[in-house]
Amino acid sequence: MFGLSGEKLLILGLIAVFILGPNRLPYYSQQLAKFIKSAKRMADNAKGQLESEIGQEVDWKKLDPRQYDPRRIIRDALAEDINLNSTAKPASKPVQKLAPGEAAPFDNEAT
């Protein structure tokens, strides 16, 4: 969570004990617990409101952005493009190469 390991949390706790002192530490611990509970409650309410507005149960696993692998998406798109090109009919006219500065001839034929 946030890149914090157990050791770092312990160090943060010790720093809090020294800064706050034993008199104020219980009060701030309660305030932190209340904040975490209210944040969890807000997240649960938002999730419930979203589900009620959509009208059906949401499959959160389908909406997880971590399931999309960009490499797989690109590979599938390229494979699809290759399959489309292999089944397409070849061009009826060869492509003309133009010299630098030369204008392309106007073609009235519909392709």
- Contact, 61 vs 67, CB < 8 A? yes
Regarding pTM above 0.75, the answer is: no
* Per-residue model confidence as pLDDT tens digits over 67-89: 788 888 888 888 876 766 665 55
What is the dihedral angle through the alpha carbons of 28, 33, 34, 39, rounded to the nearest 10 degrees?
Answer: 130
What H or E segment, with its residue span, contains residue 76? Answer: helix 70-87
List of long-range contacts for 93-100, beta carbons under 8 Å, 24+ apart: none
* Per-residue model confidence as pLDDT tens digits over 17-30: 888 888 888 898 89
How far is it, in rounded angstroms, from Cα 74 to Cα 79? 8
